């Protein structure tokens, strides 16, 4: 896409505003009026606890309504920060303090705060390829050199990360940040193995850099073994900044996330926030609900999203069995990643998906430096299981009709 700047104010734009001008904003939606919404990672609206949230709001207003409707703690509502500490202890056995947490306007904002604090234009950073397209847009706005690191079945290929870091050192440069999604990687699906987690932390120490750990889905594990976070493995030495959110376990409309970091680092992020804190009202509503329902609600969501994943995979494989398609089976999260069969005509696939009214996200959206034409991502989070199954079969038929897949059956 051509980066054409509007003439009335072009000379006034900041360098950051110019980066990525004209590029996609948000998740790409190639199919309009989709009957099957597999494009964005939208939480299941049927899972939202409407009545319980109304009750929690009423309790909160009665208890502390005046505080909820005025400016709050610059670091974020302490009750929410205490709840996040409780969450980490409950699900991970990780002990942290409210002073280690700063509340943000969703995890995307949390990641932006970390990048703003540590990344200058022209700095080198490492990112998985593929990786979440939304974060890629944020990264590009900061103007760094993005060096990609491939992903395989164990997550980020740390041997390749080492090669990147060594090459920078030979040039007399350093990597500022290593960005990774270590649980149910978006979009490819793998969970970073324990061995690679340890190696990545070791690399951060050896090459004097930071790890930005993006963990939006960690509680939504359907199967497999829980692994310690990079933050936990670092042991509080200050090499890992961890981002989290309530979007996937409560509702994206709350727009509440956070950074977990050494308390000495918090002022570096706080300088990019207004003094009144992030959403004192929404923070209190989320806190009052999750204090009573966190464990039971997450358990419900695990069952909900597991059923959706299984339905989508069943629909895909019923049609694509016998082809050379590769389809991920994530242990949690929201997404299925498909390596399309050899010879697939992606333009034809898009046309057939439009006819079938199936929304999806093309692979190139997730690669920092080009590539990904042979991949697509499907989100099973929004639609009910029966539509995940039906829509997956329609998408698989579109894949079959768009190239050489039929010949391999």
Q: pLDDT at position 185, please? A: 98
Q: What are phi and psi of 25, to 5 degrees?
A: -115, 115
Within 10 angstroms of residue 304's Cβ, the number of other Cβ atoms is: 18
Going through 289-349 in order, the beta strands assigned E by DSSP cover 326-327, 335-339
Q: What are phi and psi of 365, to 5 degrees?
A: -65, -20
Q: Which residues contact 54 (CB under 8 A, 6 or more apart)?
A: none
Q: Quick one: average pLDDT of 155-167?
A: 98
Q: Which residues contact 9 (CB under 8 A, 6 or more apart)?
A: none
Residue 232's pLDDT band (boundaries 50, 70, 90)? Answer: very high
Where in the chain do CATH 3.90.1150.10 domains reside? 25-48+297-408
Residue 127's pLDDT band (boundaries 50, 70, 90)? Answer: very high
Query: β-pairing, 124-129 with 175-180?
Result: parallel
pLDDT higher than threshold 70 for residue 94: yes
Pairwise pLDDT comparison (17 vs 318), residue with the higher score = 318
Q: Quick one: average pLDDT of 385-403?
A: 97
Residue 1's pLDDT band (boundaries 50, 70, 90)? Answer: very low
* pLDDT 10s digits, 320-359: 999 999 999 999 999 999 999 999 999 999 999 999 999 9
Mean pLDDT of the chain: 94
Q: pLDDT at position 17, please? A: 78
pTM: 0.94
Q: What is the distance between the alpha carbons of residues 409 and 405, in angstroms, rounded to a whole number?
A: 7
Q: pLDDT at position 12, please? A: 80
Where in the chain do CATH 3.40.640.10 domains reside? 50-293
Which residue has tokens 């509702």? Answer: 251
Quote the Cα angle for 308-331-237, to 5°. Answer: 135
pLDDT higher than threshold 70 for residue 189: yes
| Cα 244 → chain centroid | 9
pLDDT higher than threshold 50 for residue 146: yes
Query: β-pairing, 335-339 with 375-379?
Result: antiparallel
Least confident of 6-10, 233-237, 276-280, 366-370: 6-10
pLDDT higher than threshold 60 for residue 408: no
Q: pLDDT at position 8, please? A: 72
Closest by Cα among 223, 229, 213, 247 to 330:
223
CATH, range 50-293: 3.40.640.10
For 7, 163, 262, 298, 307, the CA distances from 302, given in Å and listed in that order, are: 50, 37, 30, 6, 9
Q: What is the distance between the alpha carbons of residues 271 and 250, in angstroms, rounded to a whole number?
A: 28
Q: pLDDT at position 7, please? A: 67
* pLDDT 10s digits, 251-284: 999 999 999 999 999 999 999 998 889 999 999 9
The sign of the torsion formed by the CA atoms of 220, 225, 229, 232 equals positive
Q: pLDDT at position 409, please? A: 45
Going through 41-191 in order, the beta strands assigned E by DSSP cover 101-104, 124-129, 145-152, 155-156, 175-180
Q: pLDDT at position 274, please? A: 84
Least confident of 3-12, 26-35, 390-399: 3-12
Closest by Cα among 335, 330, 388, 329 to 358:
388
Coil, strand or helix at 314 = helix
Residue 10's pLDDT band (boundaries 50, 70, 90)? Answer: confident
Coil, strand or helix at 343 = coil
User: For the residues of 356-406, what is the DSSP string, one character each?
Assistant: HTEE-EEGGGG-TTS--TTEEEEE-SSS-HHHHHHHHHHHHHHHHTTSSGG
Q: Give the architecture (CATH level 2) of 25-48+297-408.
A: Alpha-Beta Complex (3.90)
Q: pLDDT at position 32, please? A: 80
CB 148 within 8 A of CB 127: yes
CB 169 within 8 A of CB 194: no
């Amino acid at each position: 896409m051509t980066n054409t700047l509007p003439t009335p104010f072009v000379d006034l734009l900041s360098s950051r505003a110019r980066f990525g001008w004209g590029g996609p904003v948000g998740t790409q939606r190639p199919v309009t009026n989709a009957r099957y919404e597999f494009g964005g990672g939208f939480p299941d609206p049927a899972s939202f606890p409407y009545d319980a949230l109304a009750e929690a709001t009423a309790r909160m207003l009665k208890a502390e309504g005046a505080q909820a409707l005025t400016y709050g703690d610059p670091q974020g509502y302490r009750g929410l920060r205490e709840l996040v500490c409780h969450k980490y202890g409950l699900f991970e056995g990780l002990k942290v303090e409210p002073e280690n947490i700063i509340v943000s306007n969703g995890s995307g904002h949390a990641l932006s705060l970390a990048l703003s604090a540590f990344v200058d234009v022209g700095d080198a950073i490492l990112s998985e390829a593929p990786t979440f397209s939304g974060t890629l847009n944020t990264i590009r706005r900061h103007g760094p050199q993005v060096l990609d690191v491939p992903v395989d079945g164990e997550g980020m290929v740390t041997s390749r990360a080492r090669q990147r870091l060594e090459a920078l050192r030979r040039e007399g440069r350093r990597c500022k940040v290593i960005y990774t999604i270590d649980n149910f990687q978006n979009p490819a699906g793998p969970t970073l193995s324990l061995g690679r987690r340890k190696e990545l932390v070791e690399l951060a120490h050896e090459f004097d850099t930071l790890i930005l750990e993006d963990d939006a889905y960690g509680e939504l594990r359907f199967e497999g073994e829980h692994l310690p976070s990079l933050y936990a493995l670092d042991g509080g030495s200050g090499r890992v900044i961890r981002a989290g959110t309530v979007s996937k376990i409560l509702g994206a409309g709350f727009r509440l996330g956070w950074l977990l970091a050494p308390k000495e680092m918090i002022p570096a992020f706080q300088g990019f926030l207004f003094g009144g804190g992030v959403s004192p009202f929404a923070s209190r509503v989320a806190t009052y609900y999750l204090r009573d329902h966190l464990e039971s609600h997450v358990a419900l969501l695990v069952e909900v999203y597991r059923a959706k994943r299984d339905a989508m995979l069943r629909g895909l494989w019923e049609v694509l069995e016998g082809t050379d398609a590769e389809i991920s089976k994530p242990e949690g999260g929201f997404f299925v990643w498909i390596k399309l069969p050899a010879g697939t005509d992606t333009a034809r696939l898009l046309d057939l998906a439009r006819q079938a009214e199936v929304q999806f996200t093309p692979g190139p959206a997730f690669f920092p430096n080009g590539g990904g034409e042979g991949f697509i991502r499907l989100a099973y989070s929004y639609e009910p299981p029966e539509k995940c199954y039906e829509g997956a079969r329609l998408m698989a038929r579109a894949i079959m009709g768009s190239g050489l897949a039929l010949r391999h059956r």
